Amino acid sequence: MNYKPLLAITLGATLVLGCLAGCSSSSTTSEQSGTSSASNSSTETSTSSASEARDPLDVSTITATNETSYQKITEQEFDDLSALVVDGKTYTVPASVSDFTNNGWVGAIISGESESVEAGKSTSAKLYKGSSGSADKIQITCYNDSTSTKSWDECGITHWWVDFNLDTPTSTYATSKGVGIGSSAEEVVAAYGNPTMLQEMSSTCYLDYKYDVYDLNIPYCGVTLGVSFEIDINTNSVVSMEIGNA
């Protein structure tokens, strides 16, 4: 009997079955690999999100200097410390209201305040991003450094107060040192050092920094420049900040 044809058929069948088994194994391995990759991706995203959440602030870790004699600063330091940075644009006091209105903001005098400001006097107003009543708002003090009466929006902005305790901003607000709304207490201390004063409330605390500007003879600032940050203790985030005459 000639076995060669039979042997050839048997070998051929074995090779075919081996290929089919190999393909099946390869497909299964690929699917398992894909499942593992997706799982790793999900874990990394979850870990990243979790790491961004901060622990509540332990206020006892912050020490105030409680100094009554404040650090004297130069005119350049005053310009830097009193500035407000909004969406990356720096506004240096005394800033012009038109600097904001030209960038899409609208201004409104605060109820009870005077729209006409006498020489050497000041008034309070608000700036809203886009339209009056917007969540993005800045309370300002406008000072008239001329010798005649002016409209409030012709006066220079000399004091800032940004408060987002109840609203969520769409713009970014910071000081010239790069810390501001959303920053942690540790970031504030890293930029400014230990606060001059520390005030702890029930759910927030204030980190206050004070600077001696008496020798600079700045009429709208008096003798002390203050930079204050309100921290939400539960989220350890700056929710409001105030810069100006203290």
53 confidence band (pLDDT: 50, 70, 90):
confident
Task: Read off the pLDDT of residues 8-48 as tens digits, 9 standing for 90 and up.
Answer: 444 344 443 444 444 444 444 444 444 333 333 333 332 22
CB burial readout 48-71, b (16+ within 10 A) else e: eeeeeeeeebebeebeeeeeeebe
Task: Read off the pLDDT of residues 177-198 as tens digits, 9 standing for 90 and up.
Answer: 999 999 999 999 999 999 999 9
Task: Read off the pLDDT of residues 161-176 as tens digits, 9 standing for 90 and up.
Answer: 999 998 899 999 999 9
CA distances for 167 relative to 67, 136, 239, 245, angstroms:
34, 8, 9, 25
Q: Is the pTM of this model over 0.85?
A: no
pLDDT higher than 50, residue 243? yes
Task: Read off the pLDDT of residues 83-141 as tens digits, 9 standing for 90 and up.
Answer: 999 999 999 999 999 999 999 999 999 999 999 999 999 999 999 999 998 999 999 99
